[in-house]
Structure 1
Amino acid sequence: MDERSNQQVKKRNYKPAIIIISVVLIGAIGVLAGLPGVEGFDAFDVTILPLMNAIFNTFTFLFLVGALIAILKRNVKVHRRFIYAAFVTTTFFLITYVGHHFLSDSTAYGGSGFGMYFYYFILITHIVLAAAIVPLALTSVARAWNMENERHKRIARWTMPIWLYVSFTGVLVYILISPYY
Protein backbone atom coordinates (compact mmCIF):
# COMPACT_ATOMS: atom_id res chain seq x y z
CA MET A 1 0.00 0.00 0.00
CA ASP A 2 1.17 3.50 -0.72
CA GLU A 3 2.57 5.19 2.37
CA ARG A 4 1.03 8.55 1.39
CA SER A 5 -2.47 7.05 1.22
CA ASN A 6 -2.41 6.53 4.98
CA GLN A 7 -1.64 10.17 5.60
CA GLN A 8 -3.74 13.25 5.07
CA VAL A 9 -2.53 14.85 1.85
CA LYS A 10 -2.87 18.60 1.52
CA LYS A 11 -4.43 19.17 -1.89
CA ARG A 12 -2.74 21.79 -3.96
CA ASN A 13 -4.06 23.72 -6.90
CA TYR A 14 -1.71 22.88 -9.77
CA LYS A 15 -4.07 24.27 -12.44
CA PRO A 16 -2.30 27.66 -12.87
CA ALA A 17 1.10 25.97 -13.23
CA ILE A 18 -0.30 23.42 -15.68
CA ILE A 19 -1.83 26.18 -17.80
CA ILE A 20 1.34 28.31 -17.77
CA ILE A 21 3.65 25.38 -18.56
CA SER A 22 1.36 24.14 -21.32
CA VAL A 23 0.92 27.54 -22.98
CA VAL A 24 4.60 28.49 -22.74
CA LEU A 25 5.85 25.12 -23.95
CA ILE A 26 3.41 24.70 -26.83
CA GLY A 27 3.77 28.37 -27.79
CA ALA A 28 7.57 28.24 -27.79
CA ILE A 29 7.58 25.13 -29.96
CA GLY A 30 5.07 26.73 -32.33
CA VAL A 31 7.19 29.85 -32.66
CA LEU A 32 10.41 27.89 -33.16
CA ALA A 33 8.80 25.79 -35.89
CA GLY A 34 8.24 28.95 -37.92
CA LEU A 35 11.72 30.43 -37.49
CA PRO A 36 14.75 29.73 -39.67
CA GLY A 37 17.65 27.96 -38.01
CA VAL A 38 20.71 29.75 -36.69
CA GLU A 39 22.79 30.68 -39.71
CA GLY A 40 26.36 29.40 -39.76
CA PHE A 41 26.04 27.21 -36.64
CA ASP A 42 28.86 24.67 -36.79
CA ALA A 43 29.74 23.83 -33.18
CA PHE A 44 28.47 20.28 -33.79
CA ASP A 45 26.40 18.38 -36.32
CA VAL A 46 22.82 19.25 -35.36
CA THR A 47 21.47 16.24 -37.27
CA ILE A 48 22.41 14.18 -34.19
CA LEU A 49 19.60 15.89 -32.26
CA PRO A 50 16.70 14.16 -34.09
CA LEU A 51 18.35 10.80 -33.36
CA MET A 52 18.55 11.79 -29.71
CA ASN A 53 14.86 12.80 -29.88
CA ALA A 54 14.01 9.33 -31.17
CA ILE A 55 16.09 7.67 -28.45
CA PHE A 56 14.41 9.72 -25.73
CA ASN A 57 10.97 8.96 -27.23
CA THR A 58 11.84 5.26 -27.27
CA PHE A 59 12.74 5.35 -23.58
CA THR A 60 9.58 7.32 -22.81
CA PHE A 61 7.51 4.67 -24.62
CA LEU A 62 9.24 1.84 -22.74
CA PHE A 63 8.85 3.60 -19.38
CA LEU A 64 5.15 4.16 -20.08
CA VAL A 65 4.67 0.49 -20.95
CA GLY A 66 6.44 -0.37 -17.68
CA ALA A 67 4.17 2.06 -15.81
CA LEU A 68 1.09 0.52 -17.41
CA ILE A 69 2.15 -3.02 -16.53
CA ALA A 70 2.99 -1.96 -12.97
CA ILE A 71 -0.38 -0.31 -12.38
CA LEU A 72 -2.24 -3.26 -13.91
CA LYS A 73 -0.42 -5.36 -11.30
CA ARG A 74 -1.45 -2.75 -8.69
CA ASN A 75 2.16 -1.87 -7.92
CA VAL A 76 1.77 1.89 -7.37
CA LYS A 77 5.35 2.43 -6.24
CA VAL A 78 6.86 0.95 -9.43
CA HIS A 79 4.19 2.68 -11.54
CA ARG A 80 5.13 6.04 -10.06
CA ARG A 81 8.83 5.45 -10.70
CA PHE A 82 8.20 4.58 -14.34
CA ILE A 83 6.02 7.66 -14.78
CA TYR A 84 8.71 9.88 -13.30
CA ALA A 85 11.27 8.24 -15.61
CA ALA A 86 8.95 8.96 -18.56
CA PHE A 87 8.74 12.61 -17.50
CA VAL A 88 12.55 12.79 -17.32
CA THR A 89 13.07 11.33 -20.80
CA THR A 90 10.27 13.51 -22.17
CA THR A 91 12.02 16.56 -20.70
CA PHE A 92 15.31 15.50 -22.34
CA PHE A 93 13.37 15.02 -25.59
CA LEU A 94 11.94 18.54 -25.32
CA ILE A 95 15.39 20.04 -24.72
CA THR A 96 16.90 18.33 -27.77
CA TYR A 97 13.78 19.01 -29.87
CA VAL A 98 13.78 22.74 -29.08
CA GLY A 99 17.55 22.85 -29.58
CA HIS A 100 17.29 21.21 -32.99
CA HIS A 101 14.50 23.50 -34.16
CA PHE A 102 16.34 26.55 -32.84
CA LEU A 103 19.61 25.64 -34.55
CA SER A 104 18.44 24.28 -37.91
CA ASP A 105 15.80 24.67 -40.58
CA SER A 106 12.94 22.20 -40.81
CA THR A 107 13.57 19.12 -42.91
CA ALA A 108 11.08 18.44 -45.69
CA TYR A 109 9.87 14.92 -46.36
CA GLY A 110 11.26 13.85 -49.73
CA GLY A 111 9.08 10.86 -50.51
CA SER A 112 5.94 10.62 -52.60
CA GLY A 113 2.84 8.51 -53.07
CA PHE A 114 1.52 6.38 -50.22
CA GLY A 115 4.67 6.98 -48.15
CA MET A 116 4.11 10.72 -48.23
CA TYR A 117 0.45 10.42 -47.19
CA PHE A 118 1.36 7.96 -44.43
CA TYR A 119 4.15 10.24 -43.18
CA TYR A 120 1.96 13.33 -43.07
CA PHE A 121 -0.90 11.47 -41.39
CA ILE A 122 1.48 10.23 -38.67
CA LEU A 123 3.15 13.66 -38.37
CA ILE A 124 -0.09 15.64 -38.09
CA THR A 125 -1.69 13.29 -35.55
CA HIS A 126 1.59 13.23 -33.64
CA ILE A 127 1.78 17.04 -33.48
CA VAL A 128 -1.86 17.52 -32.46
CA LEU A 129 -1.73 14.85 -29.77
CA ALA A 130 1.72 16.00 -28.56
CA ALA A 131 0.18 19.40 -27.83
CA ALA A 132 -2.72 17.73 -26.03
CA ILE A 133 -0.51 15.45 -23.94
CA VAL A 134 1.24 18.32 -22.18
CA PRO A 135 -1.74 19.43 -20.04
CA LEU A 136 -3.10 15.86 -19.85
CA ALA A 137 0.12 14.42 -18.40
CA LEU A 138 0.59 17.34 -16.02
CA THR A 139 -3.03 17.08 -14.83
CA SER A 140 -2.71 13.31 -14.39
CA VAL A 141 0.35 13.63 -12.20
CA ALA A 142 -1.14 16.54 -10.23
CA ARG A 143 -4.20 14.44 -9.42
CA ALA A 144 -1.97 11.59 -8.32
CA TRP A 145 0.03 13.94 -6.09
CA ASN A 146 -3.23 15.17 -4.53
CA MET A 147 -4.31 11.55 -3.97
CA GLU A 148 -7.40 12.16 -6.11
CA ASN A 149 -7.26 8.53 -7.18
CA GLU A 150 -10.61 8.26 -8.98
CA ARG A 151 -10.06 11.51 -10.88
CA HIS A 152 -6.50 10.39 -11.66
CA LYS A 153 -7.75 7.07 -13.07
CA ARG A 154 -10.37 8.80 -15.22
CA ILE A 155 -7.87 11.14 -16.88
CA ALA A 156 -5.09 8.54 -17.01
CA ARG A 157 -7.32 6.32 -19.16
CA TRP A 158 -6.97 9.02 -21.82
CA THR A 159 -3.47 10.21 -20.99
CA MET A 160 -1.71 6.84 -21.15
CA PRO A 161 -2.79 5.75 -24.65
CA ILE A 162 -2.27 9.23 -26.08
CA TRP A 163 1.18 9.56 -24.52
CA LEU A 164 2.08 6.07 -25.78
CA TYR A 165 0.92 7.07 -29.27
CA VAL A 166 2.87 10.34 -29.19
CA SER A 167 6.10 8.71 -28.02
CA PHE A 168 5.78 5.82 -30.51
CA THR A 169 4.92 8.05 -33.46
CA GLY A 170 7.77 10.39 -32.52
CA VAL A 171 10.15 7.51 -33.22
CA LEU A 172 8.23 6.60 -36.38
CA VAL A 173 8.41 10.20 -37.67
CA TYR A 174 12.17 10.11 -37.14
CA ILE A 175 12.52 6.81 -39.00
CA LEU A 176 10.45 8.11 -41.90
CA ILE A 177 12.23 11.46 -42.27
CA SER A 178 15.79 10.46 -41.32
CA PRO A 179 16.85 9.72 -44.94
CA TYR A 180 16.21 13.39 -45.75
CA TYR A 181 18.45 15.00 -43.12
Structure 2
Amino acid sequence: MNQDQNVLQQTHRKRNYKPAIIIITIIINGLVALLAGLPGVDNFTAFDVKILPMLNAIFNTFTFLFLVGALVAILKKNVTVHRRFIYAAFITTTLFLVTYVGHHFLSESTAYGGTGFIAGVYYFILITHIILAAIIVPLALTSVARAWNMENERHRKIARWTMPIWLYVSLTGVIVYIMISPYY
Protein backbone atom coordinates (compact mmCIF):
# COMPACT_ATOMS: atom_id res chain seq x y z
CA MET A 1 0.00 0.00 0.00
CA ASN A 2 1.43 3.40 -0.93
CA GLN A 3 1.67 6.29 1.54
CA ASP A 4 -1.39 8.16 0.16
CA GLN A 5 -3.60 5.07 0.49
CA ASN A 6 -2.29 4.49 4.02
CA VAL A 7 -3.08 8.07 5.11
CA LEU A 8 -6.52 7.90 3.45
CA GLN A 9 -7.30 4.59 5.14
CA GLN A 10 -6.25 5.95 8.55
CA THR A 11 -8.38 9.10 8.20
CA HIS A 12 -11.39 7.41 6.60
CA ARG A 13 -14.30 7.02 9.02
CA LYS A 14 -15.75 3.53 8.79
CA ARG A 15 -19.51 3.32 8.58
CA ASN A 16 -21.73 0.52 9.78
CA TYR A 17 -23.63 -0.64 6.71
CA LYS A 18 -24.85 -3.87 8.32
CA PRO A 19 -28.37 -2.62 9.25
CA ALA A 20 -28.93 -1.28 5.73
CA ILE A 21 -27.65 -4.52 4.20
CA ILE A 22 -30.01 -6.57 6.36
CA ILE A 23 -33.01 -4.34 5.57
CA ILE A 24 -32.30 -4.28 1.81
CA THR A 25 -31.79 -8.05 1.75
CA ILE A 26 -35.07 -8.68 3.57
CA ILE A 27 -36.97 -6.27 1.31
CA ILE A 28 -35.57 -7.64 -1.97
CA ASN A 29 -35.78 -11.33 -1.10
CA GLY A 30 -39.15 -10.88 0.62
CA LEU A 31 -40.61 -9.02 -2.34
CA VAL A 32 -39.40 -11.66 -4.79
CA ALA A 33 -40.80 -14.47 -2.60
CA LEU A 34 -44.12 -12.67 -2.23
CA LEU A 35 -44.46 -12.07 -5.96
CA ALA A 36 -43.78 -15.72 -6.71
CA GLY A 37 -47.10 -16.58 -5.08
CA LEU A 38 -49.25 -13.87 -6.66
CA PRO A 39 -51.40 -14.54 -9.73
CA GLY A 40 -50.55 -11.35 -11.64
CA VAL A 41 -52.74 -8.42 -12.66
CA ASP A 42 -55.84 -9.31 -14.68
CA ASN A 43 -56.34 -7.60 -18.05
CA PHE A 44 -53.17 -5.49 -17.97
CA THR A 45 -52.97 -3.87 -21.42
CA ALA A 46 -50.68 -0.83 -21.09
CA PHE A 47 -47.88 -2.77 -22.85
CA ASP A 48 -46.93 -6.34 -23.66
CA VAL A 49 -45.42 -7.66 -20.41
CA LYS A 50 -43.76 -10.47 -22.36
CA ILE A 51 -41.00 -8.00 -23.22
CA LEU A 52 -39.94 -7.84 -19.56
CA PRO A 53 -38.29 -11.30 -19.39
CA MET A 54 -36.21 -10.38 -22.44
CA LEU A 55 -35.16 -7.16 -20.71
CA ASN A 56 -34.27 -9.26 -17.64
CA ALA A 57 -31.97 -11.37 -19.81
CA ILE A 58 -30.42 -8.30 -21.41
CA PHE A 59 -29.72 -6.71 -18.02
CA ASN A 60 -28.29 -10.01 -16.74
CA THR A 61 -26.05 -10.21 -19.80
CA PHE A 62 -24.70 -6.71 -19.14
CA THR A 63 -24.22 -7.55 -15.46
CA PHE A 64 -22.20 -10.63 -16.43
CA LEU A 65 -20.06 -8.62 -18.87
CA PHE A 66 -19.48 -5.83 -16.33
CA LEU A 67 -18.46 -8.38 -13.70
CA VAL A 68 -15.99 -9.99 -16.12
CA GLY A 69 -14.61 -6.51 -16.83
CA ALA A 70 -14.34 -5.85 -13.07
CA LEU A 71 -12.53 -9.15 -12.56
CA VAL A 72 -10.06 -8.45 -15.37
CA ALA A 73 -9.47 -4.92 -14.06
CA ILE A 74 -8.73 -6.05 -10.50
CA LEU A 75 -6.45 -8.84 -11.72
CA LYS A 76 -4.53 -6.07 -13.51
CA LYS A 77 -4.61 -4.08 -10.23
CA ASN A 78 -6.65 -1.29 -11.81
CA VAL A 79 -8.90 -0.43 -8.86
CA THR A 80 -10.53 2.58 -10.54
CA VAL A 81 -11.72 0.59 -13.56
CA HIS A 82 -12.71 -2.31 -11.29
CA ARG A 83 -14.86 0.04 -9.19
CA ARG A 84 -16.55 1.49 -12.28
CA PHE A 85 -17.42 -1.95 -13.62
CA ILE A 86 -18.80 -2.99 -10.23
CA TYR A 87 -20.99 0.14 -10.10
CA ALA A 88 -22.18 -0.61 -13.64
CA ALA A 89 -23.01 -4.19 -12.55
CA PHE A 90 -25.03 -2.81 -9.62
CA ILE A 91 -26.93 -0.52 -11.99
CA THR A 92 -27.83 -3.30 -14.43
CA THR A 93 -28.70 -5.62 -11.55
CA THR A 94 -31.02 -2.95 -10.17
CA LEU A 95 -32.64 -2.52 -13.59
CA PHE A 96 -33.01 -6.30 -13.77
CA LEU A 97 -34.71 -6.30 -10.37
CA VAL A 98 -37.15 -3.57 -11.45
CA THR A 99 -38.15 -5.43 -14.63
CA TYR A 100 -38.25 -8.78 -12.78
CA VAL A 101 -40.56 -7.43 -10.07
CA GLY A 102 -42.67 -5.67 -12.71
CA HIS A 103 -43.05 -8.84 -14.76
CA HIS A 104 -43.97 -11.02 -11.78
CA PHE A 105 -46.38 -8.39 -10.46
CA LEU A 106 -48.14 -7.95 -13.80
CA SER A 107 -48.30 -11.53 -15.10
CA GLU A 108 -48.60 -15.12 -14.03
CA SER A 109 -45.56 -17.35 -13.80
CA THR A 110 -44.74 -19.23 -16.98
CA ALA A 111 -44.51 -23.01 -16.70
CA TYR A 112 -41.55 -24.72 -18.33
CA GLY A 113 -42.79 -27.01 -21.11
CA GLY A 114 -39.71 -29.15 -21.67
CA THR A 115 -39.53 -32.80 -20.65
CA GLY A 116 -37.01 -35.51 -19.93
CA PHE A 117 -33.32 -34.84 -19.42
CA ILE A 118 -33.54 -31.22 -20.59
CA ALA A 119 -36.25 -30.50 -18.00
CA GLY A 120 -33.92 -31.86 -15.31
CA VAL A 121 -31.16 -29.57 -16.55
CA TYR A 122 -33.55 -26.60 -16.60
CA TYR A 123 -34.81 -27.19 -13.05
CA PHE A 124 -31.28 -27.75 -11.72
CA ILE A 125 -30.15 -24.45 -13.23
CA LEU A 126 -33.32 -22.67 -12.07
CA ILE A 127 -33.14 -23.94 -8.47
CA THR A 128 -29.43 -23.16 -8.06
CA HIS A 129 -30.02 -19.77 -9.68
CA ILE A 130 -32.85 -18.92 -7.26
CA ILE A 131 -30.95 -20.00 -4.15
CA LEU A 132 -27.76 -18.22 -5.13
CA ALA A 133 -29.67 -15.10 -6.25
CA ALA A 134 -31.04 -14.78 -2.71
CA ILE A 135 -27.56 -15.29 -1.27
CA ILE A 136 -25.85 -12.81 -3.59
CA VAL A 137 -27.86 -9.85 -2.31
CA PRO A 138 -26.15 -9.60 1.10
CA LEU A 139 -22.82 -10.82 -0.31
CA ALA A 140 -22.65 -8.09 -2.98
CA LEU A 141 -23.81 -5.39 -0.57
CA THR A 142 -21.29 -6.50 2.07
CA SER A 143 -18.51 -6.62 -0.52
CA VAL A 144 -19.13 -3.06 -1.64
CA ALA A 145 -19.57 -1.82 1.94
CA ARG A 146 -16.18 -3.26 2.88
CA ALA A 147 -14.63 -1.58 -0.15
CA TRP A 148 -16.24 1.75 0.80
CA ASN A 149 -14.86 1.33 4.34
CA MET A 150 -11.43 0.58 2.86
CA GLU A 151 -11.37 -2.77 4.63
CA ASN A 152 -9.35 -4.12 1.74
CA GLU A 153 -8.39 -7.50 3.18
CA ARG A 154 -11.94 -8.20 4.38
CA HIS A 155 -13.24 -7.02 0.99
CA ARG A 156 -10.93 -9.45 -0.82
CA LYS A 157 -12.01 -12.35 1.40
CA ILE A 158 -15.72 -11.90 0.72
CA ALA A 159 -15.23 -10.88 -2.93
CA ARG A 160 -13.64 -14.29 -3.57
CA TRP A 161 -17.09 -15.74 -2.88
CA THR A 162 -19.19 -12.88 -4.21
CA MET A 163 -17.66 -12.64 -7.68
CA PRO A 164 -18.12 -16.28 -8.81
CA ILE A 165 -21.60 -16.50 -7.30
CA TRP A 166 -22.70 -13.23 -8.90
CA LEU A 167 -21.23 -14.34 -12.24
CA TYR A 168 -23.12 -17.66 -11.94
CA VAL A 169 -26.40 -15.94 -11.04
CA SER A 170 -26.20 -13.45 -13.90
CA LEU A 171 -25.20 -16.11 -16.46
CA THR A 172 -27.80 -18.65 -15.35
CA GLY A 173 -30.46 -15.92 -15.45
CA VAL A 174 -29.79 -15.63 -19.17
CA ILE A 175 -29.75 -19.41 -19.62
CA VAL A 176 -33.08 -19.78 -17.79
CA TYR A 177 -34.58 -17.11 -20.05
CA ILE A 178 -33.31 -18.84 -23.20
CA MET A 179 -34.68 -22.17 -22.04
CA ILE A 180 -38.14 -20.90 -21.02
CA SER A 181 -38.65 -18.23 -23.68
CA PRO A 182 -40.44 -20.58 -26.15
CA TYR A 183 -43.18 -21.05 -23.53
CA TYR A 184 -44.07 -17.36 -23.01
Q: TM-score range by the shorter chain?
A: over 0.9
Residue 78 of structure 2 is aligned to residue 75 of structure 1: yes
Q: Does 1:60 align with 2:63?
A: yes
Aligned partners of 1:5 and 1:147 also within 8 Å: no
Scaled by the length of structure 1, the TM-score of the pair is: 0.98
Q: Does 1:30 align with 2:33?
A: yes
Q: 2 CA distance for matches of 1:127 and 1:63?
A: 21
What are the Cα deviations for residues 90-125 of structure 1, in whole angstroms up to 9, with x where unaligned? 000000000000000000000100110000000000
Give the match for residue 152 of structure 2: 149
Q: Is 1:121 aligned with 2:121? A: no
Residue in 2 aligned with 1:111? 114
Identity of aligned residues (%): 76
User: C-alpha displacement at 1:151, in angstroms?
Assistant: 0.2
Which amino acid in the other structure matches residue 82 of structure 1? F
> Which secondary structure state, in structure 1, belongs to the residue aligned with residue 124 of structure 2?
helix
Coordinate RMSD, CA, aligned: 1.3
Unaligned runs of 5+ in 2: none
**Alignment partner of 1:99 is 2:84:** no
Any unmatched runs of 5+ in structure 1? none
Equivalent-residue separation in structure 2 for 1:3 and 1:41 (angstroms)? 57
Matched residue pairs, number? Answer: 181
Contact 1:60 1:89 in 2 (8 A): yes
Q: What amino acid is the match of 1:116?
A: A
Counterparts in 2 of 1:77 and 1:176: CA distance versus 1, 3 Å: same
User: Per the alignment, in what secondary structure is the counterpart of residue 106 of structure 1?
Assistant: coil
Cα deviation code 1:11-47 (max 9, x no counterpart): 0000000000000110011000100010000111000
